[in-house]
A and B are shown apart, each in its own frame.
Chain A
Amino acid sequence: MNLSSPPSGMVENRPWLTFFSHAILVAGVLLVAFPLYITFVASTLTLEQILSVPMPLVPGDQFWNNYTQVITAGSQRGAAAPVGRMMLNSLVVALVVPLGKISISIISAFAIVYFKFPLRNFFFWMIFVTLMLPVEVRIIPTFKVAADLGILNSYAGLTLPLIASATATFLFRQFFMTIPDELAEAARIDGAGPMRFFVDVLLPLSKTSMAALFVIQFIYGWNQYLWPLLITTDESMYTTVIGIKRMITGGDALTEWHLVMATAMLALLPPALVVMLMQKWFVKGLVETEK
């Protein structure tokens, strides 16, 4: 973005206006960045330094110590599981949820758009109605089902209930409906059966939509709080977000804030990385469709 040369006619070249708009932007950046910076600084201090008033605003020398302790051992006073393990759990959830969601919903959208079967519309509406039932609303019955299935404290329990959702099915259905019928007909004349058409034509055309969905769902999966909190009681199945919560034991003095902050920094990294690495695809998926 080129802020120094706004489109002529919209904003005239008035120095104070340029100054003013920049000031607001800088203030906005600081507002977002400052807490992050404090978190980072705190993660490099000792607990005593953090609890002293005022807390130092420059990074300390405990970076290596704090982070290695968190990753390999965890907090000794709160939950004692190493954060490395939690990160792994979070990663499993954050990968399985989007991959599961995308595969199931693209296949069901394919069925709904390209096949005629009895009660097709009924099934579509059933799927559509689940849009109104996010995890939080159906959490008690879902917990009961998970408990009966014996998948508490397991990856299956962590991911399956989050995979079942209609949003993605709906998005893919809308996308498929914009693909001209003649494309499917041309493929049929070329001799491609339905599955071949799906793999050779629909999947490649949906690439960018899938990438965008992946980014959104990765972050959704990584940041899950309520469901993992309910379904995991075993420390080895905690996700990072739950880990942070469990480290905060109650009294200020008892909590190892330097470790909490280091964990928070670690928890920030993967979603930020995914967004950065997939930015190009993500934006493409939101703004353009290749047809």
Chain B
Amino acid sequence: MAGVSFRDVKKNFGAVKVIHGVTMDVDDGEFVVIVGPSGCGKSTLLRMVAGLERISSGEISIGDRVVNDIEPMDRDIAMVFQNYALYPHMSVRQNMAYGLKIRKMSTADIEKRVHRAAEILELGTYLDRKPRELSGGQRQRVAMGRAIVREPKVFLFDEPLSNLDAKLRVQMRVELQALHRRLGTTSLYVTHDQVEAMTLAHRMIVMNAGRAEQIGAPIDVYQKPATTFVAGFIGSPPMNLFPTKVGGRPVLLGVRPEHLEPCAASDADYTADIILVEPLGADTLAHGSIEGTTMIARLPAATHVAEGKLPLRFDPAHRHYFEPDTGARIEV
């Protein structure tokens, strides 16, 4: 077991800078999710830990060993790819055993590990099938099995669930959590799905254009987003941002859709022009604008709202202020 630490890690492909310096420590046994929009460098960061991509500058260590110049197989990691990357001509058993065979582990030990992994993942009856004879979810499990049998210090996942349908994704998410509780292996998990990030992560790294905008526990990130980018990316629908002034200084006021509530006109902080009401069953989304800024309010399902003027107020405990130019959070 070991943690992973990043020391000012940068990456460029030729002249293109992709990662602009990430520093953080992943603790032993921690489950850290790297989340961000497409193209922000999540995969690149993960692949540098795996050793599939060279580190342009800075240092990555696994345990207390700097791994910059260590081959992937010697880094004591295992990786699960989005497209599974199973060997198509090998059976499930051979797929899982391949890495161990190369390490010259004895056949008996290999068998033991493969069986244990198959048992954990409920793959027992599929051991002699080829990957193409399996469903997407089963292939995903085999890919995890291949990672588990290695008994690595760190698991690396690159969007492992994004090829599955919505229902299976939820199920696999739960299984992943159970698996992590059982094995307790340090894990780095890349996703662009914020629900996966919120539910799986002990801590998450919110990335934007090659920078770690915020690192923290999901609930802290949600409650105290460090920038307007994080405020917009974590939480759905995104946080509303209204230009306003505090003590004569221009700022952006952030209020999450769920923290707006309808009220009597006399108590209202704002009056919204609602142009669209979407009843979702569990709650209702009201889209519109306030003083020319588009906004969304998430209202309890029972509230009856119609298009037109809607007086709203918000709980002052749930407001956020940001610098209009840099987007950085201001504590008032």
Contacts and interface: CB of A to CB of B under 8 A. Distances in A.
Interface of A: 180, 182-183, 185-192, 196, 200-201, 204-205, 290-291
- Which of B50, B77, B81 has most A Cβ within 10 Å? B81
Contact of B85 (A186, A200, A204, A205): A186
Contacts of B77: 189
A185 B88 contact: no
Given A180-B83, A182-B81, A190 B89 contact: no
A186 B85 CA distance: 7
B137 interface: no
B30 to A, nearest CB: 21
B79 interface: yes
A192 B73 CA distance: 8
A26 B87 CA distance: 47
B52 A188 contact: yes
Given A189-B73, A190-B73, A190-B99, 10 more contacts: A182-B81, A185-B50, A185-B79, A189-B51, A189-B78, A189-B99, A190-B102, A200-B87, A201-B87, A290-B88
B81 A191 contact: no
Contact of A191 (B52, B79, B88, B102): B102
A187 B50 CA distance: 12
B229 interface: no
Contacts of A186: 79, 81, 85-87, 146
B87 A191 contact: no
A183 B87 contact: yes
B73 A204 contact: no
A186 to B, nearest CB: 4
Interface string B50-90: 11100000000000000000011100011101110111110
Q: Is the interface of A mostly helix, strand, loop or mixed?
A: helix
B85 A182 contact: yes
B73 A205 contact: no
B290 to A, nearest CB: 47
A188 B85 contact: no
B267 to A, nearest CB: 57
B103 interface: yes
A196 B98 CA distance: 11
A205 B88 contact: yes
A170 to B, nearest CB: 23
Interface of B: 50-52, 71-73, 77-79, 81-83, 85-89, 98-99, 102-103, 132, 146
Nearest to B77: A189
A191 B89 contact: no
A180 B89 contact: no
A188 B75 CA distance: 11
Nearest to B156: A189
Contacts of B83: 180, 182
Given A183-B87, A186-B85, A192 B52 contact: no
27 contacts: A180-B85, A182-B83, A182-B85, A183-B87, A185-B85, A186-B79, A186-B86, A186-B146, A187-B87, A189-B50, A189-B51, A189-B52, A189-B72, A189-B73, A190-B73, A190-B99, A190-B102, A190-B146, A191-B99, A192-B98, A196-B102, A200-B87, A200-B98, A201-B87, A205-B88, A205-B89, A290-B88
A188 B85 CA distance: 12
Nearest to B79: A189
A191 B74 CA distance: 8
A287 B146 CA distance: 31
A290 B89 contact: yes
Given A182-B83, A182-B85, A190 B98 contact: yes
Q: Which of B51, B82, B98 has the most CB of A within 10 A?
A: B98
A204 B79 contact: no
Contacts of A205: 88-89
Nearest to A291: B88
Contacts of B73: 188-191
A184 to B, nearest CB: 9
Q: Which 3 A-B pairs have the closest CB atoms?
A: A191-B73, A190-B99, A182-B85
Contacts of B71: 188
Nearest to A185: B52
A275 B78 CA distance: 45
B50 to A, nearest CB: 6
B72 A188 contact: yes
A190 B87 CA distance: 11
A200 B73 CA distance: 17
Which one of A186, A201, A290 has the greatest number of beta carbons of chain B within 10 Å?
Answer: A186
A192 B102 contact: yes
Contacts of A182: 81-83, 85
B69 to A, nearest CB: 15
